[in-house]
Amino acid sequence: MKNEVIYLTKTGHSKKIAEAVAAALGVQAKDIKTKPALEQVDTLFIVGGIYGGASDPAMLEYAAGLKGDTVKRAALLCSSAGGKTGQGKLRQLLKDNGVEVCEEEYICRGNFLVVGLGHPNKEEIAGAAAFAKKIAGAP
């Protein structure tokens, strides 16, 4: 089963989370800003921050190019200062493209100005890796 991990970050949290997830799965995390070309992925882990209540437009633009014949399934992880997801649009866009999206999403706290200082912490990042292993069915 082929796993891939991609991320979009503005302040580094999603990169940290994606790298922990990728290490747990034995792959390299890829930055969406480099427009990674994906081939036949079983599970694609997508990690992104929430800005103004939503995913970054570049994340949505990249995801719009992902189709169900290349990416069978996606699992979403997000980081947000408020500890809530804002990836509804991303989820819908993937589904509309024929990509199955895992119901469960890993939501990691981030920080913005004074909100969420100290997050994401070690335990939260380890939790992201554990979530990914569970979804991937890794031992």
Q: 73 Cβ partners below 8 Å, 6+ apart? A: 42, 43, 44, 99, 100, 101, 102
Taking the C-alpha atoms of residue 37 and residue 35, their distance in angstroms, rounded to an integer, is: 6
Count the residues of the shown chain that bind ligand FMN, applying the rule CB under 6 A.
Answer: 18
Please report whether residue 33 would count as binding ligand FMN according to CB under 6 A: no
User: Which of 19, 21, 24, 49 is the binder for ligand FMN (CB under 6 A)?
Assistant: 49
Which residue blocks in the chain are alpha helix, DSSP H?
13-25, 57-64, 88-96, 122-136
Please report whether residue 53 would count as binding ligand FMN according to CB under 6 A: yes
Residue at shortest CB range from ligand FMN: 110
Beta bridge mates, 79 = 49, 108
User: Which of 66, 110, 127, 135 is the binder for ligand FMN (CB under 6 A)?
Assistant: 110
User: Which of 6, 20, 44, 50 is the binder for ligand FMN (CB under 6 A)?
Assistant: 50
- Contact pattern from residue 60 through residue 99 relative to ligand FMN, giving x for each residue in contact according to CB under 6 A and a dash for the rest: -------------------xxxx-----------------
Indicate the burial class of 35 (C-beta count within 10 angstroms; 0-12, 13-18, 19 or more): exposed
Tokens of residue 129, six digits: 């890796």
User: Which of 3, 5, 9, 71 is the binder for ligand FMN (CB under 6 A)?
Assistant: 9
Binding range to ligand FMN, per CB under 6 A, among 20-28, 43-51, 69-77, 125-133 = 43-51
Q: 93 Cβ partners below 8 Å, 6+ apart? A: 60, 63, 64
Residues that bind ligand FMN (CB under 6 A): 9-14, 49-53, 79-82, 110-112
